[in-house]
Amino acid sequence: MSFDVCFWQKGEPSMSPVELYEEACEGISENFEPSLLLSEFREHLTLRWPEIENALEPLAYDPDLEVQEDLSRFILITLPVKSVAVLPDIVEMALTFKLTGYDPQAEQVIGQD
């Protein structure tokens, strides 16, 4: 089992957070604006929890792709249930970067867009 949460800074205004989350799950990034803050958030996540790198999408490097994905649009985090205890700290960190997110398990929007 795993626990998903997704963050972004600005998404397509006509789309709900649920729709944006679903787009991220499909790897569709064009409905998210690039964000330096999101890139910095990703860097801080991996510095604080190095083991989380493998739980982040898009992948920092995907050998199956000729052109790597833009890491500045959204970040989808899939945590194993044993690691869910860090989720409140991840959410707190995301909020300090002024990110919006969606928690599909709780069906809850995080922050403001």
Total domains, the chain: 1
pLDDT, tens digit, for every residue of 53-108?
A: 889 988 665 566 565 567 899 999 999 888 889 999 999 999 999 999 999 999 99
Q: Rounded CA gap, 3 and 91, in Å?
A: 13
- The structure tokens listed for 13 are 């205004």
Q: Which position has the token pair 């990034």? A: 29
Reported as type and span, the H/E element at residue 36 is: helix 36-48
Distance CA 99, CA 61 (A): 23
| pLDDT, tens digit (0-9, with 9 covering 90-100), for 93-108 | 999 999 999 999 999 9
- Give 65-69 contacts, CB < 8 A, sequence gap 24+: 69/27, 69/29
Structural domain including 59 reads 2-110
